[in-house]
Structure 1
């Protein structure tokens, strides 16, 4: 398994560079939490009664990247990768034949596409998708970046606990 090297975000960067670097930092943190484990270990739901697994978190984040960047920012109407109407939490329910390679490849592809979709936009640009707040306010790219950082940070906390239960590994 290959992962990119995680780089600490600059303390002196401009707003956009800082937001993008923090998002990348958290993306790579999730990758590091999964590094070196077998498919079986990545599918271990190790904090009962929770069904959360490391592979499930990666599949979920592929869906989150897809939803916010493709559907909300760019109005692509991309279909879900891992969940269905019958199993709305299917991203968290990998089957026996689902592999790390499939999940990791899908997740990395969504990250790459998210970057390409965001690149031409300013932080104040509003998403072209139909998703909006209950107030009717649209989402800006800035809001999407902040939400994605929050989403990864929260799930990286879950990944910390899962990984420690799987093999005892701890750390950032």
Structure 2
């Protein structure tokens, strides 16, 4: 496979994950895109803010191409996890706009650097801080897909919406049957628990 094809494949997978993450905000109120749905505060707009911010770092600073975007939540005096939630002063448009600008910034890096271009991740341990563009593309695909998965669950908890991306939910089955399906799984889980209680020798 030649380099252009390999790079195009990686960028395509990254863009698919990016768009899936942003899509999870569609149709929700300001409250619902921000409200925490897990004990650690995971929320939809915070996920977008975080991924936008780290992408600017990985495709910018790592390769000596800082974006110039101010990221006060990464300053030394910022509170922990400030990149994982949106303040009342940070609009949805601000954060999604930042994310889309990070895509544009990355486009110039992809266009101008080969996959074997060497960079350095300043916040990684010194012994593994030297990286290639290929490695960072793979890293950001994994990072973005991981958080898109978080967004899948959070969005389902907000309003029951689920799916891979617009026009393709990738779920299969009849949506009217999900409650019955969930109840069946609950019964299976209870039966497994009872079986384990009855026979402690079974695997946990």
TM over 0.5: yes
Q: For residues 74-153 of structure 1, what are the structure 2 equivalents within 5 Å?
A: 74-76=64-66, 78=68, 79-85=70-76, 86-127=78-119, 130=122, 133-136=125-128, 138-153=130-145
Distance of 1:89 and 1:145 partners within structure 2: 24
Moved more, 79-88 or 89-98: 79-88
| Residues 1:18 and 2:9 aligned together | yes
Distance of 2:112 and 2:136 partners within structure 1: 15
If you compute each CA radius of gyration, which structure gives the higher value, 1 or 2? Answer: 2
* Deviation, structure 1 residue 136: 4.6
* Deviation, structure 1 residue 61: 0.9
Distance of 1:137 and 1:163 partners within structure 2: 35
CA contact (8 A) 2:37 2:154 kept: yes
Distance of 1:105 and 1:27 partners within structure 2: 13
Q: Deviations over 1:91-141 (max 9, x none)?
A: 113212221111111111111111112211110111266566542551100
Question: Cα gap change, 1:42/1:136 in structure 2, threshold over 3 Å: closer, same or farther?
Answer: closer
Question: Cα gap change, 1:137/1:93 in structure 2, threshold over 3 Å: closer, same or farther?
Answer: closer
Moved more, 51-60 or 124-133: 124-133
| TM-score (normalizing by structure 1) | 0.83
State the SS of the aligned residue for 1:127.
strand
| Residues 1:64 and 2:44 aligned together | no
CA contact (8 A) 1:74 1:129 kept: no
The unaligned stretches of length 5 or more in structure 1 are 1-12
Distance of 1:137 and 1:111 partners within structure 2: 23
Distance of 1:129 and 1:32 partners within structure 2: 29
Aligned residues: CA RMSD: 2.1
The unaligned stretches of length 5 or more in structure 2 are 165-204
Greater fraction helix: 2
The total of aligned residue pairs comes to 159
State the SS of the aligned residue for 1:139.
strand
Moved more, 91-100 or 25-34: 91-100
